[in-house]
Structure 1
Amino acid sequence: MVLNIGIKVLFSLSILILTCFTMKNKRFESKSESFYQAKSDTISDSTIIEMEKWVKEERKYWDSTCQAETKRAKADIKNKKLVYFHYFGMVKQYRSNEEMNELLRKYNIQIDSTANFCTVPSELQNCYAALMDKEIDRKFGSKFIDSLRNVAEIKYVRKNPEKIYDFQECDRIPRYSGDKTYDVFFKSYETDFWKNIKYPDDFEYRKDKDYYSYISAEFTLHKNGTVSNISINLTFQNKKNYKYSSYFINEVKKFIINTKWIPAKTMGITVNSMVPLTLHFK
């Protein structure tokens, strides 16, 4: 029975998607017209009735699934069984799940995983996991999981001392000498770079305000403050300026190498990281 309903649910979703692509353009000519008021000539009344029926069956299926999961969770909790779920899809993903699992096992908490689906009402999916989350909070405190995750993140960083972290993985600290805030970083290095750069006499400046010429650079900033793996790309609005590519690339390299960068940190631990730079031409 469950399989048959599941097949119908998938079929109904396919019909809905197909319907969206087969609707005539005239349905969208008047934006003020309600979706339900604007009928498509390609959909018959009988098809609409069938679609409504499938939607009701889908809701009934998820209602039944949630009730069964809730009943099972209550029984497991009564038998002292606790399960922590890693969520995948539509939520933040963590790098330290392996370390988190080790910590949870010390509290006799089992581990499982589940996914969130955008097509299913949130109150009807992962009902077992939701009840387990509430019980873990009740038993150990509302800050228990967050505190364990913090420890797990630190463990992960210490276990991977040579990893090169993406810029956004690191703590929000400035990495340019003299900067006092993170936000200033994105302006100050560009200002300082152009202070010492002389444009060639026949360099053609930007004419169209809707388009930019820019330098996109990236490099590895090591824990000891040294840099490596410098990568530089230029995009000129005026193609004639490409003859100066080597000049600007060399200037950017010199700037990166001669600058005293501040090594990044993640979870308060100094790490290797990638640093992206963007420099705009006049």
Structure 2
Amino acid sequence: MTSNSDSLKEFRKIALAERRSYNKKRCSEDSIRAVRDSEIQHKYYINIAAPSGDKFLPAEELKMILQKHNIIWGGEWMGSDIGGYSGECYYSLMTELTEKKLGKDFIDELVKKSVALYVQKHPGKIFDYDEHSEWTYKKGSLSYTDDNDQLNKDFFSHFIYPEGYENYNSSVQKYRSSTLVTLILDTKGIVLKNQFSHHIFHDHNLKYIPYFEKEIKKFIKYTKFEPVKYGGYPVKGEISFSIYYK
């Protein structure tokens, strides 16, 4: 006898297959339409990464710049999951064909110009992660989960634990202690402001927080940070990273 649970699983499986078939058909139709449209016009879309944020801030500036080169600004799009279809095949292929015909470097430069213009209009704007700004440390990404990234390695290469500090012990602590560091960087990567949020999961080590901050500030002072980038253009931005203690 088939249970309700098995029937529900089978229904979901059928529904998923139908959605995939539908999406594949729509994608094929939209791809053909994009190729046809690209023969008579150039159109450009920007893909906004999920899940947060659905706006390219310099949209008006980009629209104006694109128009000067007879390129239509299509707007932003965000890819859907398997449960829906948002026309991304048309958007992505149309953009790809425009970049192929006019040159990707050329298009990228127009996008950078739009960002530069937007930044000039909003000199006090501080970009953050929700606006899809990008930041790397020494050209690499941070792990945000443990000390196995280049920033932590650099910090601890000159860090000396204070006498009496007690290391992480899984039988006593549920989590490793850490400090979340938030910085505001200018367009050259110079630190304008710093803020610390400490997560010390061993009461004995709470007294060392002032020492941790002193050492982190020293690290910040002597570290050359890359600026935050938005659309490939350096901007004033907020970044954060964690220092994980042993």
Aligned to 1:146: 108
Instruction: In structure 2, list runs of 5 or more residues that go unmatched.
Output: 140-148
1:193 is the counterpart of 2:149: no
Aligned length: 221
What is the distance in 1 between the residues matched to 2:193 and 2:49? 35
Taking structure 2 as the reference length, the TM-score comes to 0.61
Deviations 1:211-262 (A, max 9, x none): 55323132435549555452231332x45x2xx52x2221123234445243
Of 46, 70, 73, the residue aligned with 1:86 is 46
Distance 1:277 1:66, change over 3 A: closer
1:253 is the counterpart of 2:213: yes
What is the distance in 1 between the residues matched to 2:194 and 2:182? 5
Of 179, 190, 211, the residue aligned with 1:216 is 179
Instruction: In structure 1, list runs of 5 or more residues that go unmatched.
Output: 1-20, 24-39, 175-182
Distance 1:269 1:131, change over 3 A: closer
1:235 is the counterpart of 2:200: yes
Indicate if the aligned counterparts of 2:183 and 2:238 stay in contact, CA closer than 8 A: yes
In structure 2, give the amino acid aligned to 1:189.
F
The percent of aligned pairs where both chains have the same amino acid is: 17
Where 1:110 maps in the other structure, the secondary structure is strand
Aligned to 2:79: 116
What is the distance in 2 between the residues matched to 1:171 and 1:158? 23
Indicate if the aligned counterparts of 2:19 and 2:84 stay in contact, CA closer than 8 A: no
Aligned to 2:142: none
Instruction: Please state how far the C-alpha of 1:280 moved relative to its aligned partner.
Output: 0.5
Which structure shows the higher helix fraction? 1
What is the distance in 1 between the residues matched to 2:169 and 2:19? 60
Instruction: Please state how far the C-alpha of 1:130 moved relative to its aligned partner.
Output: 4.5
What is the distance in 1 between the residues matched to 2:15 and 2:239? 53
Deviations 1:58-80 (A, max 9, x none): 7368636853x4665566445x3
What is the distance in 2 between the residues matched to 1:254 and 1:215? 15
Where 1:101 maps in the other structure, the secondary structure is helix
Taking structure 1 as the reference length, the TM-score comes to 0.55
What is the distance in 2 between the residues matched to 1:97 and 1:83? 17
Higher radius of gyration, 1 or 2: 1
What is the distance in 1 between the residues matched to 2:97 and 2:155? 50
Where 1:192 maps in the other structure, the secondary structure is coil
Q: Output the aligned Cα RMSD.
A: 4.6
Indicate if the aligned counterparts of 2:19 and 2:82 stay in contact, CA closer than 8 A: no
1:102 is the counterpart of 2:64: yes
Where 1:83 maps in the other structure, the secondary structure is strand
Distance 1:205 1:149, change over 3 A: same
What is the distance in 2 between the residues matched to 1:204 and 1:57? 55
Indicate if the aligned counterparts of 2:112 and 2:233 stay in contact, CA closer than 8 A: no
Instruction: Please state how far the C-alpha of 1:151 moved relative to its aligned partner.
Output: 3.6
Where 2:180 maps in the other structure, the secondary structure is strand
What is the distance in 2 between the residues matched to 1:222 and 1:135? 36
Structure 2 counterparts to residues 1-282 of structure 1, below 5 A: 23=5, 40=6, 42=7, 59=21, 63=25, 66-67=28-29, 69=30, 73=34, 76-77=37-38, 80-88=40-48, 95=56, 97-98=58-59, 99-112=61-74, 113-119=76-82, 125-166=87-128, 169-173=134-138, 184-194=150-160, 197-199=162-164, 204-208=166-170, 212-223=175-186, 225=190, 228-236=193-201, 238-239=202-203, 241=204, 244-245=205-206, 247-259=207-219, 260-261=221-222, 262-265=224-227, 266=229, 269=234, 271=236, 273-281=238-246
What is the distance in 2 between the residues matched to 1:139 and 1:226? 41
